[in-house]
Structure 1
Amino acid sequence: MNAEHHSDPLGVITSPREWLTRALKPLSSTIHTPQTSQEKTMKTSTFRRASVVPALIALGLAACGSDAGDSTDTGPMTTDMDMDMNMGDPDATPADDVVGAALARGEYSLMDTRPEGYDGVAGTAVIARSPLGTTITTELTGLLPNVDYISHAHAQACDDGNAGPHYQFEVGGSEFPPNEIHLAFTSDNDGNGFMTAENAKIAGTAAVAFVVHPMEFIDNKIACVDFIEDEPGSIDAAIAAGLDESTMDDMDDEG
């Protein structure tokens, strides 16, 4: 990042780091980690739907899918764009509970790039593809308490170039949601994390992995999930059928 970026007295934010600092404030509410599907659906939370901050996502992109040294100065950023984009809602329907969805899931494996203090991280991520779009839910333990994290769907397996670039619905298109799936959350006092992110688009089969980072050390990937289908071939079949709701019901009946 350009060290000369600054914030002017009129309040125009010109530094991605300043965007990040301001963005972390709404993410610091305590998150309850649900134990059952009913709790996930019915629980209450003081966490508000997180607004995606463009510079915050850009930091993740630089660390996750490209060389940070290649970043360029694009000039002052404003709050006018992308403020309605969503990086997670703890009250959203968890991926496991999405009706008529083709599901894939996996357990986190630690990555060599993780910072110190994360050797005990464990958890799962689930991706659901349904007529309503794509839902990803992640649950983790062993995180540092009260720390902000960001995660993304990736287009390569965990052991293939550290999961490679972010998954994009339109390859080469926007590096922001809804063309990518981003998810942010804050760990609770015990180092647990839970969040669900939704996207109105249906992810293709190239969305094969999910990576989590600490927000403060965005270039250090902590852990990665390789998604494995609950029913082999179900995702291909669902996508080929256009994820027609009646077709999905038939698939469920066959299971």
Structure 2
Amino acid sequence: MRSTTLRLGVAALVALSLTACGSDDDGDTSDEHAGSDHSASSDGEDHSGHVMNEPDATPANELTDADLREGTFTLLDTAPPGSDAVAGDVWVAENSDGTTVTVALTGLAADTDYMLHLHDAKCEVDNGGGHFAFDPAGSDQPPNEVHLAFTSDANGAGTATVTNPQKVGDAAKSIVVHPAELMDNRLACANF
């Protein structure tokens, strides 16, 4: 009982400490997902059981029967200090199974948790705008949104793949990466 209470208390503190994906150009922090628990375990699953990394899945850029889009991450003005070496790519593939997204990044802090979300605007527009959602009035969690998570390795590299049974089409325009503990700091963005 004590262990369960402790875990619930920690989860509540984490949820309260996280804010949504960044701030606008005026410095106002968005409250888009206040109270949501976006933290993930090392296996890429959030605390509500949503899978945000499928290590055994075929990466999007290796799917042969899919329409593929890709992009390169660029640093955002909200990136935490010391992030200058961050680089990477995203691949978004759509086929009869839905949408598969794969990211690969380097130059990250070592052994650190990162979260990624598909966004509804290009990187140049409010650092990616808001989260992409299949149903804008629906949940801010998968499967209504596409989230990925990973823990960087000792060299600061990380990769993740996730598949959603729905197709994002042209409505999702970019992907944003955040340090999981600093969700208000949009680190990098890639258009695709």
TM-score by shorter chain over 0.5: yes
> 2 CA distance for matches of 1:151 and 1:70?
14
Task: Give the deviation of 1:204 after TM superposition.
Answer: 2.1
Q: CA separation of 1:143/1:85 partners in 2, compared to 1, >3 Å: closer, same or farther?
A: same
> 2 CA distance for matches of 1:70 and 1:203?
20
> 1:116 maps to what in 2?
81
Give the counterpart of 2:169 among 204, 208, 225. Answer: 204
> 1 CA distance for matches of 2:32 and 2:98?
34
> 1:13 maps to what in 2?
8
Kindly provide the amino acid, as one letter, of the partner of residue 67 in structure 1: S
Q: CA separation of 1:170/1:82 partners in 2, compared to 1, >3 Å: closer, same or farther?
A: farther
Give the counterpart of 1:68 among 31, 34, 45. Answer: 31
> 1 CA distance for matches of 2:94 and 2:110?
31
> 2 CA distance for matches of 1:217 and 1:82?
17
TM-score (norm 2): 0.81
Kindly provide the amino acid, as one letter, of the partner of residue 165 in structure 2: A
> 1 CA distance for matches of 2:88 and 2:33?
33
1:187-243 residue CA offsets vs partner (Å, 9 max, x unmatched): 11111111111111111211110000001111101100000xxxxxxxxxxxxxxxx
Give the counterpart of 1:181 among 137, 140, 146. Answer: 146
> 1 CA distance for matches of 2:47 and 2:157?
29
> 2:98 maps to what in 1?
133
> 2:40 maps to what in 1?
none
Q: CA separation of 1:184/1:117 partners in 2, compared to 1, >3 Å: closer, same or farther?
A: same
Gaps spanning 5+ residues in structure 2: where?
24-28, 37-45
Richer in helix (by share) = 1
> 2:43 maps to what in 1?
none
Task: Give the deviation of 1:68 after TM superposition.
Answer: 3.5
1:93-149 residue CA offsets vs partner (Å, 9 max, x unmatched): 100122311110010010000001111100100001110011100001100110100
Kindly provide the amino acid, as one letter, of the partner of residue 172 in structure 1: A
Are the aligned partners of 2:174 and 2:191 in contact in 1 as well (CA < 8 Å)? Answer: yes
Are the aligned partners of 1:64 and 1:164 in contact in 2 as well (CA < 8 Å)? Answer: no
TM-score (norm 1): 0.62
1:158-206 residue CA offsets vs partner (Å, 9 max, x unmatched): 0101101111111221111000000000111111111111111111211
Gaps spanning 5+ residues in structure 1: where?
1-7, 21-54, 74-80, 228-255
> 2 CA distance for matches of 1:192 and 1:72?
29
Are the aligned partners of 1:110 and 1:119 in contact in 2 as well (CA < 8 Å)? Answer: yes
Bigger radius of gyration: 1
Higher relative contact order (CA 8 A, sep 6+): 2
Residue-pair matches, total = 177
Task: Give the deviation of 1:70 after TM superposition.
Answer: 8.8
> 2 CA distance for matches of 1:97 and 1:109?
23
> 1 CA distance for matches of 2:51 and 2:35?
25
> 1:101 maps to what in 2?
66
Kindly provide the amino acid, as one letter, of the partner of residue 31 in structure 2: A
Are the aligned partners of 1:111 and 1:223 in contact in 2 as well (CA < 8 Å)? Answer: yes
What is the RMSD of the two structures over their aligned residues, measured on CA atoms? 2.9
